[in-house]
Amino acid sequence: MQRVLTFTHGKKKYVSKPWNFEAFCRVSERHVQQDYDGDGTPIGNKTNSVARIGSDTVDYLFEGTDATQDILDSCIAEKYRMCRQVFEWYLEDATRKNVQTPATEETEEK
């Protein structure tokens, strides 16, 4: 099942490109990246906000669609909701077990 973001602005529904590996990597990069102020001091807890982590990825997922950057930026609550969604997808994919252990494989075959 493909995972996509959707939102409505005016009477039009916008649908993003499907969640993909590039989107996962963008969230991962922002998640581990530390922001610094001018003198090299870490900015603090604000660096891990869901909006900061997911905003770039939401923009990426809507590239090439009818949703312009102006439309995305004008729908603040919807964009924040989508940022939370991409972060949830990232966490699901980052913590999912995709490999079975040999013991599990043996018992399933019998």
Please give the pLDDT value at position 72: 95
Residue 70 in this model has a pLDDT that exceeds 70: yes
Please write the tens of the pLDDT for every residue from 3-18. Answer: 999 999 999 999 999 9
Please give the pLDDT value at position 40: 58
Would you state the structure tokens that stand for residue 52, as one six-digit string?
A: 């900061």
CB 45 within 8 A of CB 96: no
Which one is predicted more confidently, 88 or 30?
88
- What is the distance between the alpha carbons of residues 33 and 26, in angstroms, rounded to a whole number? 11
- What is the distance between the alpha carbons of residues 65 and 4, in angstroms, rounded to a whole number? 12
* Domain boundaries, given as residue ranges, for the chain: 6-109
Cα Rg of the chain, angstroms: 18
Please write the tens of the pLDDT for every residue from 27-69. Answer: 998 877 766 555 556 665 445 688 888 999 999 999 999 999 9
Residue 100 in this model has a pLDDT that exceeds 70: no
